[in-house]
Amino acid sequence: MSGFDAIVIGAGNGGLTAAATLAKGGAKTLLLERHNVPGGCATSFCRGRFEFEVALHQLSGMGDASFPGPLRSVLHGLDVLDRVEFVSMKNLYRLTIPGRLDITLPADRNGTVEALTKRFPAEGKRIKEFYDLVYEFFNQLISVIYMRDPEASSGKYPLYFKYAMASSQDLLDEYFNDPLLKASVAAYWGYMGLPPRYLSFSDLAALIFAYIEFKPYHIRNGSQALSNALIEKFTENGGEVRFNCGAQKIELENGAVSAVVTERGERIPTGCVVANISTPVLYNELIGVEESPKEKYEEMSGRTIGPSSFTLYIGMDCTPAELGIEETTNFIGAHDDFNHAFSQLRDIDEPAMILVSCFNVSDPGASPEGTCQIAVVDLQYLEPWLSIPPSRYAEEKYRYAAKVLDLVERVFPGFRSHIEEIEISTPITHVRYLGHPGGAFYGFDQHIKDSRLINPPVQPISGLFHAGAWAAGGGFQPTLASGASTGRAALKHLGMRGR
């Protein structure tokens, strides 16, 4: 078997953009995927007359052609923009806490400030000041972190140096009184899997800034369309992909990558591997505990595995309008205490906060005419699901799904009677398909201490690169971007500058 310049293990978002970057850069690249379909989380499946989006809710960092966001630039660099259609949303989200709060925030800075001020007039001044802070802080962050201003200092960028290590809760408490206002501003916490008390202000500011400035997007025909387009481009550039073929071992020689052994037992020489799999599986299984650098386990030991989710994929026999659904993105909270809601992710009693995404609102073609496609997401950790005996698993799934639907019904009455198809995934489902510990699609929890600035990842194995949620944090934009930058680093390692 002749070798490859580089082998990419895993065709999730990070693996796909890494592979596409390597092939475009002229590296002879092999992409191994143990499933029959590329994308990892970025996929879809069919039931009846519906095709369900698995993971994408709101794509961040896109922007349009006249004002491209960082993700658009990444995808442009990989030549896939003309093969995929992106659909923008006009609002960020609607947040409902039944009986107490119902607010919709537009994807527009002034519009958001106005909507919040209208609902919380007593705090209008502070609302404007908060969003001013978010913008000024984030612009300073861009200069320091992304533009790498060589003269960065606390004198030049005071807001960044003051708040970079702050939690979102610190700032929410500093600026606001009404807990419902704090909830309205911080509803995106679920996209990071951490509540305001743990979520860094940098991350909350990034979410608010990126979704307002570049608008939330969806992909026509779902995230599978992007995954397919990346594979197409990769193979056009000479890349070779093998589906149904996982990697079993990464072989080392003198502390450097020397080959990959596939699960079919084939040994393929290479000096460069980009792993798009979880960190524990990479070191425990592919490198092997004995061969793995001790400092990597030391680094991992301080980290915790992030949440997975309980998700309902639902095909409805009616239009969104008939259900009273006017937004693509609807957060529903059982209460306003998101810090407590986070604790409830370890419990399968009552859902605390759910996301109801109805893709048809922004993309009428998301399902056949007269129907709509809905995904209801409730973040959940794996542990409570492992405590259910296998014989009770199906019943528990239905029991908990009924509770989630009860919460949906409080905002969209009559919802249940329109269900035509429904599929349930649990954290166990996500472990099964992703192979990640915890079914954690966001990878490790991204606490403030886990910022790459504070703890830059150690990587003592020459020729080994790591892309995706476990290396760079979860979500579509971070994983897609991490694959592209990892691909460039791998090209540099190979002495190729890219085309």
Partner 1 sequence: MSRRNIADQLEGVERIREETRICRKYGIDYTVEKGRTMRLVNLLHPQALRLKVGTVIRETKSAATLRMAPVDGYLPPFQAGQYINLFVEIDGVRTSRPYSISSAPHQTGFYDITVRRVENGFVSDYLLDGVGPGDEFESSGPSGNFHYNPLFHEKHMVCLAGGSGVTPFMSMIREVTDRGLDREITLLYGNRREDDIIFHSEMKDRASRFGNFVYRPVISEPSKTCSELTGFINADLIRSVLNDLGSKTFYICGPSQMYEFCIPELEKLGIPKNKVRREMFGQPQDITAEPGWPREVEASTEFKVSVRGGKTLRARAGESLLAALERAGVVVPSLCRCGECSMCRIKLVSGKVFQPRGVLLRQSDREFGYIHSCAAYPLSDLKIML
CB of 367 to partner 1, least distance (A): 10
CB of 418 to partner 1, least distance (A): 7
* Interface stretch with partner 1, choices 65-73, 132-140, 205-213, 233-241 (CB under 8 A): 233-241
CA atoms within 13 A of residue 433's CA, in its CB half-sphere? 21
Q: Is 39 left (phi over 0), alpha (psi -120 to 50) or beta?
A: left
Which listed residue (347, 393, 413, 414) binds partner 1 by CB under 8 A? 393
Does residue 47 interact with partner 1 by CB under 8 A? yes
CB of 321 to partner 1, least distance (A): 18
CB of 315 to partner 1, least distance (A): 9
Which listed residue (211, 283, 412, 465) binds partner 1 by CB under 8 A? 283
**Residues 484, 499: Cα–Cα separation, whole Å:** 14
Amino acid in the structure at residue 466: H
CB of 332 to partner 1, least distance (A): 18
Does residue 416 interact with partner 1 by CB under 8 A? yes
Which listed residue (108, 322, 406, 423) binds partner 1 by CB under 8 A? 423
* Interface stretch with partner 1, choices 172-180, 241-249, 352-360, 486-494 (CB under 8 A): 241-249
Q: Which is nearer to partner 1, 93 or 476 (CB)?
A: 476
Q: Which is nearer to partner 1, 99 or 389 (CB)?
A: 389
Which listed residue (147, 256, 321, 394) binds partner 1 by CB under 8 A? 394
| Residue ranges in 255-274 that form contacts with partner 1 under rule CB under 8 A | none
SS3 207: helix
CB of 401 to partner 1, least distance (A): 6
Does residue 92 interact with partner 1 by CB under 8 A? no
Beta strands in 189-307 (DSSP E): 217-219, 240-242, 247-253, 256-262, 267-269, 273-275
DSSP string, 380-434: E-SHHHHTS-GGGHHHHHHHHHHHHHHHHHHHSTTGGGGEEEEEEE-HHHHHHHH
Pairing label, strands 372-380, 273-275? unpaired
* 368 alpha carbon, distance to own chain's centre: 27
| Residue ranges in 206-225 that form contacts with partner 1 under rule CB under 8 A | 221-222, 224-225
- H or E stretch including 457? none
Which listed residue (79, 213, 285, 396) binds partner 1 by CB under 8 A? 285
CB of 172 to partner 1, least distance (A): 17
| Residue ranges in 142-181 that form contacts with partner 1 under rule CB under 8 A | 144, 150-154, 161-166
CB of 29 to partner 1, least distance (A): 15
Q: Which is nearer to partner 1, 316 or 464 (CB)?
A: 316
Q: How far apart are the first and last CA of the chain?
A: 27
CB of 49 to partner 1, least distance (A): 9
Q: CA separation (Å) from 348 to 8, 93, 331, 438? A: 37, 25, 19, 15
CB of 225 to partner 1, least distance (A): 4
Q: Which is nearer to partner 1, 367 or 486 (CB)?
A: 367
Which listed residue (76, 100, 125, 449) binds partner 1 by CB under 8 A? 449
DSSP string, 321-365: HHHT---SEEEEESSS-HHHHHHGGG-SSS--EEEEEEGGGT-GG
Task: Please count the residues of this chain forming the interface with partner 1, following the rule CB under 8 A.
Answer: 76
**Residues 149, 233: Cα–Cα separation, whole Å:** 34
Does residue 458 interact with partner 1 by CB under 8 A? no
Q: Please report which residue ranges of 215-329 form alpha helices under DSSP H.
A: 223-236, 279-281, 294-301, 320-323
Amino acid in the structure at residue 113: V
Q: Which is nearer to partner 1, 248 or 284 (CB)?
A: 284
* 433 alpha carbon, distance to own chain's centre: 16
* Interface stretch with partner 1, choices 18-26, 45-53, 123-131, 207-215 (CB under 8 A): 45-53
- The residues with which 88 forms a beta bridge, in sequence order, are 217
| Residue ranges in 299-358 that form contacts with partner 1 under rule CB under 8 A | 300-304, 317
Which listed residue (45, 114, 136, 269) binds partner 1 by CB under 8 A? 45
Which listed residue (31, 186, 334, 382) binds partner 1 by CB under 8 A? 382
Beta strands in 39-153 (DSSP E): 44-47, 50-53, 63-64, 67-68, 86-88, 91-97, 101-106
**Residues 238, 4: Cα–Cα separation, whole Å:** 12
CB of 131 to partner 1, least distance (A): 22
CB of 258 to partner 1, least distance (A): 22
**Residues 256, 251: Cα–Cα separation, whole Å:** 8
CB of 32 to partner 1, least distance (A): 13
DSSP letter, residue 305: B
**Residues 420, 48: Cα–Cα separation, whole Å:** 9
What angle do the packed helices 201-214 and 168-175 form, to 10 degrees?
80
Q: Are 103 and 93 in contact (CB under 8 A)?
A: no
Q: Are 216 and 232 in contact (CB under 8 A)?
A: no
Which listed residue (91, 96, 228, 262) binds partner 1 by CB under 8 A? 228
Does residue 81 interact with partner 1 by CB under 8 A? no
Q: Which residue has the tokens 């809760």?
A: 169
